[in-house]
Copies of this chain bind each other. A is one copy, B any other.
C-alpha cells in the first residue's frame, strides 16, 4: 500500500536505499518446480550494472545477487524468493550537505514534505539503483514465461536526445553501450554523450520495448487492462514522463478507416494497437515506447532554495549517468515481463477452464 510491492499474484516487494547496506526484493507467488539459480538472474543485472562504459555512472557495483529463500536443490518451491544485493560502493561523503537544500528535478523536496525526514545519501529510496531488484525479479519472470509460453522480451533505444535511432537489427543491441539497434549510429551517439559530459549537461532518451510470443487473452477489462498495467509499470520507472502503446500519440491524427487492425485468415493485418484490444492481449507483439527525461543531477549550477526557503544554488558533482535512458532498456524489459507474468497467473486463475471452439483462429501474426 505504501508502494513497495508490484503485482497481484506474482508479487515483488522491493526494499533498500541507494547507500544502505543492501537492496533487494521478495517475490511471492512464483510457480513451483522451476529450475532457478543466481546465474539465471545475474545476466540481466549485468546488463543494467553501472560502470560498464564511460557514458554511465562510474559507481562500481558488482550487483551480485544472492538467493536467500524459496529455492531448494535448484528448484523453486512456491514459497517467497528473497533476492539480496549488497551495496559495496556507497561513498556517502558526496551527499552530506544535501539535507539542507533541494536539487531541481529531484525528489528531495517532495520526500521531505511527505515524510518530514529523508535519507539524502545518493537519493536514498528515490535512486534509480532500486531498479536493480526489479531487473532481478524480472529475470525470474522472463525465465518462466520463456519456458512456459515462449514469450521473450527485447528493448532498445530509439532516440538519444534529439537523435533518432532507426531500427536496423536486434542483433546490434548487445554490441554497443546504448542498446542501439543500429551499428552505424553508435559513433554519433558517443560523440553526443562526450560533448554533453564536457558541457556538464544531460539529455533525454526514448526506449522501445516489445514482448513476442505473447499468450492471447491476458489482461483484465475495465481497470487492470494489460496496457493500463503496462503504463503504470513504465511510468513508475525513474524519470519516465510518457508512455505509448502501439501507435501511441500518432493515433490522434489517424482515421478509423485505416487505423483499426484488420483481421485476415492468416492473422492480423497490422499492429497499430500494439498487441492489446480492449485491454486484453491479442497474441501479437506488445509494443511499448517510453520517454525518459534528462538526468537532473548535473554539474551546471541551478537555482534552488534551502529548507528555510532562502534562495541558493545547486551543483551536483557526484557520479551520475549523463543520460539515465542509457541503462533503462533492461529495466523496461523487466517491468514489462513482470506485468505479463502477473497477468498470465491472473488469467488462468479465473479462466483456466476456457476451452476454445475446435476451429481456433490461426496464431495471430505480429506485423508491427
The distance in angstroms between the C-alpha atoms of A223 and B247, with both chains bound, is: 25
Given that A125-B221, A351-B31 are known contacts, is A107 also in contact with B309, CB under 8 Å in the complex? no
Q: Is the CB of A80 closer than 8 A to any CB of chain B? A: yes
Given that A216-B113, A234-B231 are known contacts, is A106 also in contact with B252, CB under 8 Å in the complex? no
Partner among B2, B17, B236, B281 whose Cβ is within 8 Å of the Cβ of A110? B281
What residues of chain B lie closer than 8 Å to A110, measured between beta carbons?
216-217, 219, 276-282
Q: When the two chains form their complex, are residues A224 and B3 in contact, meaning their CB atoms are under 8 A apart?
A: yes
The total of chain A residues at the interface (CB under 8 A) is: 161
The distance in angstroms between the C-alpha atoms of A82 and B13, with both chains bound, is: 10
Given that A13-B28, A28-B5, A269-B303 are known contacts, is A33 also in contact with B354, CB under 8 Å in the complex? yes
Q: How many copies does the complex hold?
A: 4
A8 to chain B, nearest CB (A): 6
Q: When the two chains form their complex, are residues A20 and B235 in contact, meaning their CB atoms are under 8 A apart?
A: no
Q: When the two chains form their complex, are residues B310 and A14 in contact, meaning their CB atoms are under 8 A apart?
A: no
Q: When the two chains form their complex, are residues A257 and B79 in contact, meaning their CB atoms are under 8 A apart?
A: no
The distance in angstroms between the C-alpha atoms of A303 and B261, with both chains bound, is: 9
Chain A stretch 180-210: residues in CB contact (< 8 A) with chain B: 199-206
What residues of chain B lie closer than 8 Å to A286, measured between beta carbons?
none
In the complex, residue of chain B having the shortest beta-carbon distance to the beta carbon of A262 = B303
What residues of chain B lie closer than 8 Å to A124, measured between beta carbons?
72, 77, 79
Chain A stretch 219-239: residues in CB contact (< 8 A) with chain B: 219-225, 227-236
A178 to chain B, nearest CB (A): 14
Kindly supply a per-residue 1/0 record for chain A positions 299-328, scoring 1 wherever the CB is within 8 Å of any chain B CB and 0 otherwise: 010111101111100000000000000000
Partner among B78, B296, B302 whose Cβ is within 8 Å of the Cβ of A350? B78
User: Contacting chain B: which of A54-62, A167-175, A340-348?
Assistant: A340-348
Q: When the two chains form their complex, are residues B241 and A248 in contact, meaning their CB atoms are under 8 A apart?
A: yes
In the complex, residue of chain B having the shortest beta-carbon distance to the beta carbon of A25 = B26
Q: When the two chains form their complex, are residues A77 and B118 in contact, meaning their CB atoms are under 8 A apart?
A: yes
Partner among B105, B217, B304, B362 whose Cβ is within 8 Å of the Cβ of A273? B105
Q: When the two chains form their complex, are residues A235 and B242 in contact, meaning their CB atoms are under 8 A apart?
A: no
Additional A-B contact list (7), CB under 8 Å, known A15-B82, A33-B353, A309-B359 = A1-B346, A2-B80, A3-B28, A14-B80, A110-B280, A264-B305, A305-B361
Counting from the closest, the 10 A-B pairs by CB-CB distance are A107-B278, A105-B260, A3-B220, A202-B256, A232-B232, A349-B349, A110-B280, A3-B224, A231-B235, A256-B294
A-B contacts, 10 of them at CB < 8 A, read A1-B220, A2-B346, A4-B80, A15-B79, A104-B263, A107-B280, A204-B259, A228-B233, A262-B302, A348-B352
